[in-house]
């Protein structure tokens, strides 16, 4: 399962759905684009504090991963970096499902929250598409 989660992180990088590094992750959170803020298990106390400050008062969830900085660097193809921000809700749900399967007692509540948010976003997307479909029809005119 660990390899599957790390592989998914690499896939996120190739899909440009993850912002790696403290500066980019902080900008994604402040810009409202981040869905999850990921933190390496061996992140420093300063990095942990900055991550908590980034998500304070925002809708982004802070999640400590069971991976070290070295494992994250290997999966993401970057050097160093204890922090990353996921910007795609579908990828966030997929990662949370894997983590919840690995350690249910630790990640189950966050996985449920992400699943709820994903469901809500899909419902809004359907409603918006239905409204557009209804509003693009031609009007009949009297001839």
Domains by residue range for the chain, with CATH = 2-135 (3.30.1330.30)
> How do residues 54-84 score in pLDDT, each as one tens digit?
999 888 889 999 999 998 888 888 877 889 9
Global model pTM greater than 0.85: no
56: left (phi over 0), alpha (psi -120 to 50) or beta: beta
> How do residues 76-133 score in pLDDT, each as one tens digit?
888 778 899 999 999 999 999 999 998 899 989 989 999 999 999 899 988 888 877 7
């Amino acid at each position: 399962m660990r390899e599957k989660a790390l592989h998914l992180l690499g896939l996120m990088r190739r899909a440009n759905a993850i912002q790696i590094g403290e500066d980019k992750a902080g900008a994604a959170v402040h810009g409202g684009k981040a869905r999850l803020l990921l933190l390496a298990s061996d992140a420093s106390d300063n990095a942990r504090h900055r991550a908590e400050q980034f998500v304070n008062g925002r809708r982004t969830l802070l999640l400590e991963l069971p991976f070290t900085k070295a494992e994250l660097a290997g999966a993401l193809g970057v050097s160093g970096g204890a922090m990353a921000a996921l910007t795609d809700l579908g990828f966030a749900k997929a990662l949370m499902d894997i983590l919840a399967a690995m350690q249910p007692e630790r990640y189950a509540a966050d996985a449920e929250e992400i699943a709820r948010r994903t469901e809500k976003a899909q419902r809004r997307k359907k409603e918006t598409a239905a409204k557009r479909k209804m509003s693009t029809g031609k009007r009949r005119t009297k001839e």
